[in-house]
Amino acid sequence: MKSGVTKKEPISSRRRFFLDMARAVGLATLGGLTWSAYVDEVSASKLTLRPPGALKEEDFLATCIKCGMCVEACPFDTLMLAKPGENKPLGTPYFIPREIPCYMCPDIPCVPVCPTGALDIKSLKSEKKELDINEADMGLAVVDAENCIAFWGIQCDACYRACPILGEAITIEYSKNERTGKHAFMKPIVHANACTGCGLCERACVTEKAAIFVLPREVALGKAGDYYIKGWDKNDEKRLENTNSEHLKQKKDSKSVLDSLNSGMEGLY
């Protein structure tokens, strides 16, 4: 019996090897891309508050081994390891101040137990080389002036009194209520240089949803850039000397700019 189909040439083992290899590489690339995209997504959460002494977020993510020893060491159960579904980098420690803030333990038990150095004990040493929780930098409290009732003129200083470094991290600013003429505003003002981001103020805030809340510093702080100079700081003169004023001058005279526009138009007709 003769069949019309010619028998397929058997694939040589060499060719098969290359084919299999190419397929494996292709699949691996596909898998790798999906995997990276996913991991990139879950680790991109910018609003996660870390324990005291945590490294910069990107170094922290590379270093923390997710062992939970900081969590176990915290006597207040402040810290938690992110679980699936919490939209935080999986397994890393964080805290939610409105639930349980960091109580700023003087001996900072959560930090020395960290085996990886993701919580960096050096960053918490004062100039005298002693452990000092006031050096912590978990975040920065921000006041929502719209909803803070003190800005309405109602007397409330719950956050101020809750702050472990009151008078430095939060101060009360007195100002006259021009509308009534006989009342005063007592507004809470947070100072970024002293606030540790512990969240005790957020926890204490009396409004339904806290009108003062902690955000990671990179999120909470703006950046003015070098263009602006306060003018009354001691070192401002020096900064002026160093600025490179080139970019203030126009490189081309305005005539040539106009010409270039006009000549460009000509080509269109």
Partner 1 sequence: MKTLIYKHRYLILRRFTQVLVMALYIIANVYGINILMGNLSSSMFLGLIPLSDPYAVLQMFSAGAILTFDIIIGALIIMTFYAIVGGRVFCSWVCPVNMITDLANYLRRTFGFNQIQKKQPASRNIRYWVIGLSLIISFVLGITAFEFISPISMMHRGIIFGLGLGWAAMLVIFLFDLFVLKNGWCGHICPLGGFYSLVGRFSLIRVKHDADKCTACMECKEVCPEMQVLHMVTKESIPVLSGECTNCARCIEVCDDDALIFSIRNKNNGEKNEIN
- Residues forming contacts to ligand SF4 in the complex (CB under 6 A) are 51-52, 64-70, 74, 76, 78-79, 93, 102-105, 108-110, 113-114, 116, 118-119, 133, 141, 143, 148-150, 156-159, 162-163, 165, 169-170, 188, 190, 195-201, 204-207, 211-212, 214
In angstroms, rounded to a whole number, what is the distance separating the alpha carbons of residues 259 and 160? 61
Helix/strand/coil for 10: coil
Q: How far is CA 106 from CA 67, 69, 124, 130, in A?
A: 23, 18, 11, 11
Complex with partner 1: residue 31 or 106, whichever CB lies closer = 31
Residue type, 249: K
Complex with partner 1: residue 49 or 204, whichever CB lies closer = 49
Residue 152 beta carbon to ligand SF4: minimum distance, rounded to whole angstroms: 9
In angstroms, rounded to a whole number, what is the distance separating the alpha carbons of residues 180 and 124? 47
Structural contact between residues 170 and 143, judged by C-beta atoms closer than 8 angstroms: no
Residue 72, binding choice from ligand SF4, partner 1, none, Cβ under 5 to 8 Å by partner class: partner 1
In angstroms, rounded to a whole number, what is the distance separating the alpha carbons of residues 263 and 269? 11
Binding-site ranges for partner 1 (CB under 8 A): 24, 27-28, 31-32, 35-36, 38-40, 42-43, 58-59, 61-63, 65-69, 71-72, 80-81, 83-86, 89-91, 113, 115-117
In angstroms, rounded to a whole number, what is the distance separating the alpha carbons of residues 93 and 137? 15
Residue 43 beta carbon to ligand SF4: minimum distance, rounded to whole angstroms: 14
Complex with ligand SF4: residue 209 or 251, whichever CB lies closer = 209
